Structure 1
Amino acid sequence: MGADYTFYPTTNVLESKEETEFRSEVRQWVLEKVYPEADRVEHEKLFPRHLFKEMGDRGYLRVLFPKSIGGTEKGIKYGIILADEISWCMRALTAALDCSIFCSIPIMRFGSEEQIKKYLPGIISGESIGAIGMTEPGAGSDLIGSMRTVAKKDANGDYIINGEKRFITNGSEADIISLWALTDTSVAGHVGMSCFIVEKDFEGLEIVRDFNLMGVYGLKNTYMRLNNLKVPKKNLLGKEGMGTKILLDELDSERTLAAAGSCGLARRAIEIAAQHANKRVQFKKPIRYFEKISFDIADMAIKLEAARNLTYQAACTIDAGLDASKIGAIAKVFASDIAFECTHKALQMCGGLGYMKGEWDEASGKYLLPNGSQAYVTERIFRGARLSSIVAGTNEILRYLIQREVFNEMQLRKPAESDNWGD
């Protein structure tokens, strides 16, 4: 990024003065500490654990937590600012941060005093990393109905858990995992599912491997086996059978932060596209003067602003203590869709330069083009944006949930075949 790099404005009249100041502070930190390492994280597929500690030292990880446990109670609005600014240059860090936070939110809301005191200070300080143990080989979108991981009590009342977990973000790096399993297989999954706090050193937790992902290098996405995993009874979160309630409680916040991360990717795409269009000359004029190019940039800006406002609305709804299931899903779907669209258009607009990864230069720690200038990151953010429509609930399942809420809100009963359709 050269000295002449220009940022797309993030001014939002909905943000308070304090929130805007927080954004400026985070952006300065991102430019000084995160951006210089982005290429190396990509090249070495390096998990950026040390940046968690820096965020903890700066107090950034405290914003979602109550003062009683060392937080600042700023709310999810501060969380979306953090996710937006970091995703601008390192999507892997945002994805890892989201999962670490959402490992801890169930503990904050449903944990005992002992569990809260033991596990949350490490997350807030950045010393510990969290993961969410939900997805299984046969249980993705239908997690509640298809889960096969089972927890049974032993003679001492502790739990022995057997099963497999797949696509667990932070899995191989996590110090603690909020893990879901069936404690009662004789009833439906939504009744028989429970949540446990699992430490990385618990006997029976096997980290099999990290997956080789299409993008978001630096993120650890893990396959793990639970081979008679021994979990003390004191590590049951809430009560048996509360797993579904705990799961649904954290999803709205997770989806809202995911939406903010998508906004950061889209913003970077607009910046790259606009600056390239302004300096790239074809047919004796900058390509910004071609209607197709200029209208694409206009559409990118329109959709980014809409995504931002949806994300902020979802955050405000959560901070107000209201049900954000629909608006959180809407924000996540729309923002991830436009992130993919914006990164795709930016790559296309930049042509061959946009498709190039560049050559790794160890001295500078950067990917460089043949002329020695820093490579564009369009292919990287394009790959990163593709993940956004999958995580935190696929956009297909979220669209199903959204339409269901629409019909429910309008009190429209689902017609049965006995209603003689069309007669």
Structure 2
Amino acid sequence: MKDFLLDDTDRTFRAEVKDVLQRELAPRMADIEERQDWQAIRQVVRALGEAGYLRLMFPDLYRGPLAKPGLTHATILSEEAAYLNYAFETTIATALSCAYPLYHFANPQVRDQYLLPILDGTAIGAICVTESNVGSDSAGMETRIDFDEKTNEWVINGFKRYISNASVADVYIVYGLTTHTGKPQAGMTAIAVPKTAPGIHFPRNYSFMGRRGCIVGEVEFKDCRVPADHLLGERDGGFRIMLGMFNFERAILGGSGLGVARSAFDIATEHAQRRMAFGQHLGCKQLVWDKIAQMSWRIDSAELMTYRATRMYDAGIDGKALMKEASMAKLVATETANFCANETVQILGGDGLTKEYGRAEQIYRDARALTIVGGTSEMAKYLIACRDLPHIRIGL
């Protein structure tokens, strides 16, 4: 790995993170994958919180040795965690996506109540956007958020699905409509909802082909009430909060994809140099070395795009100015993860399909989610094209 956009401080940080994850996550990987042990995940989250790694995005709250912590370092953390276990990485990435709006838009009392436990690793967060008819197109959102002046509370009614950390999170950032006429995105509002709020329910969790151990499910709100001060930002200002959160999430997913791709690549190259076929090492076969070369240049491309986006964010570039670069990072890294996972299974042959001969089949199943979660590859291409075709309106 070239890590061309990283400096010696970043490389030292990466080595430190690897050591911590090898100590805390690696011994629990089988518990997470085979037994879907949520407590194993919680123990590692707590260890990362104690190490200060969940504060990297919030410099004034960070207490570690880095002089300028930021998204670059949070992405390194996600990359190294995904290298070992993408299901676990999903849990912390979602918690950080929840922490982002709390840090930037919650009032001080609410921020301290919900944000600090997440950063300490003693609490888990979740984001509630997706609905039955809402995925990438957030304009179709049907969840309603009304204000009850008599009780000074927000009242939420709606149904969210495919929510990472559903039922196990301690606080949920919920997006819904407070203005029900005109453009839906103009009337969107974000609210912090604790798990203990009356009217919040968790109908079921889903079973996925991959990311075993990561809990994903449904969250339903039936006259769910939270105090007025749990509003994030301003009423009808939720869409702007969501856009900023998505840039952050897409860059983090670039790290996720990069970690999964590297994990697959290392398995493939080790096998190609060890396995003998027709009197030669497998890697001597042209069709195999072609696969290795394609994986290699795709990983380098993904790395450059991912850390370009994080460097831009850490330099103060965000919003629409970062939308293209963050989308490119997410698109290229997650597509690369899928490519590498597929080619690794092919290179390993029968060994790539079995649990008995390594992790290739797990990585193959895990990687498939990456081009869907956090906005599909198709949506990423749309956002890129919007910047490249500024003088025409391209519609969905």
TM-score above 0.5: yes
Distance 2:314 2:328 in 1: 17
SS at match of 2:358: coil
Distance 2:56 2:16 in 1: 14
> Does residue 1:390 correspond to 2:381, yes or no?
no
Q: Give 1:336's aligned residue.
A: 334
Q: Give 1:413's aligned residue.
A: 392
Q: Give 1:62's aligned residue.
A: 55
**Aligned ranges for residues 7-406 of structure 1 at < 5 Å?**
10-47=1-38, 48-68=41-61, 74-143=69-138, 145-154=139-148, 155-322=150-317, 323-358=321-356, 375-406=357-388
- After the TM superposition, which parts of structure 1 deviate over 4 Å for at least 4 consecutive aligned residues? 68-73
Determine if contact 1:46/1:217 at 8 Å carries over to the other structure: no
Give the counterpart letter for 2:47 in structure 1: E
Q: Tell me by how many angstroms 1:70 deviates.
A: 6.1
Larger radius of gyration: 1
Determine if contact 1:70/1:121 at 8 Å carries over to the other structure: no
Q: Tell me by how many angstroms 1:186 deviates.
A: 1.9
Deviates more, 1:147-156 or 1:242-251: 147-156
Q: Tell me by how many angstroms 1:55 deviates.
A: 0.1
Determine if contact 1:70/1:124 at 8 Å carries over to the other structure: no
Deviations 1:269-298 (A, max 9, x none): 111111111111111111111011111101
Distance 1:70 1:350 in 2: 44
Q: Which runs of 5+ in 2 are unaligned?
A: none
How many matched pairs? 387
Give the counterpart letter for 1:230 in structure 2: R
Q: Which runs of 5+ in 1 are unaligned?
A: 1-9, 359-374, 417-423
Determine if contact 1:69/1:117 at 8 Å carries over to the other structure: no
SS at match of 1:67: coil
Q: Tell me by how many angstroms 1:11 deviates.
A: 4.3
Determine if contact 1:115/1:235 at 8 Å carries over to the other structure: yes
Give the counterpart letter for 1:160 in structure 2: V
SS at match of 1:119: helix
Q: TM-score w.r.t. structure 1 length? A: 0.89
Structure 1 70/190 Cα, relative in aligned 2: closer, same or farther at 3 Å?
Answer: farther
Q: Tell me by how many angstroms 1:32 deviates.
A: 2.2
Give the counterpart letter for 2:342 in structure 1: H
Q: Among the aligned pairs, what percent are the same residue? A: 30
Distance 1:276 1:31 in 2: 22
Determine if contact 2:4/2:304 at 8 Å carries over to the other structure: no
Deviates more, 1:169-178 or 1:112-121: 112-121
Structure 1 41/414 Cα, relative in aligned 2: closer, same or farther at 3 Å?
Answer: closer
Q: Tell me by how many angstroms 1:68 deviates.
A: 4.8
SS at match of 1:88: helix
Determine if contact 2:147/2:154 at 8 Å carries over to the other structure: yes
Q: Tell me by how many angstroms 1:103 deviates.
A: 0.6
SS at match of 1:249: helix
Distance 1:205 1:415 in 2: 38
SS at match of 1:185: coil
Give the counterpart letter for 2:25 in structure 1: V
Aligned CA RMSD, in angstroms, stands at: 1.5
Q: TM-score w.r.t. structure 2 length? A: 0.95
Determine if contact 1:69/1:120 at 8 Å carries over to the other structure: no
Structure 1 237/112 Cα, relative in aligned 2: closer, same or farther at 3 Å?
Answer: same
Distance 1:195 1:413 in 2: 31
Give the counterpart letter for 2:87 in structure 1: A
Deviations 1:234-274 (A, max 9, x none): 11111110110110011111000101111011111111111
Determine if contact 2:282/2:288 at 8 Å carries over to the other structure: yes
Q: Tell me by how many angstroms 1:414 deviates.
A: 4.7
Deviations 1:159-199 (A, max 9, x none): 11111000000111100111111111123211111000000
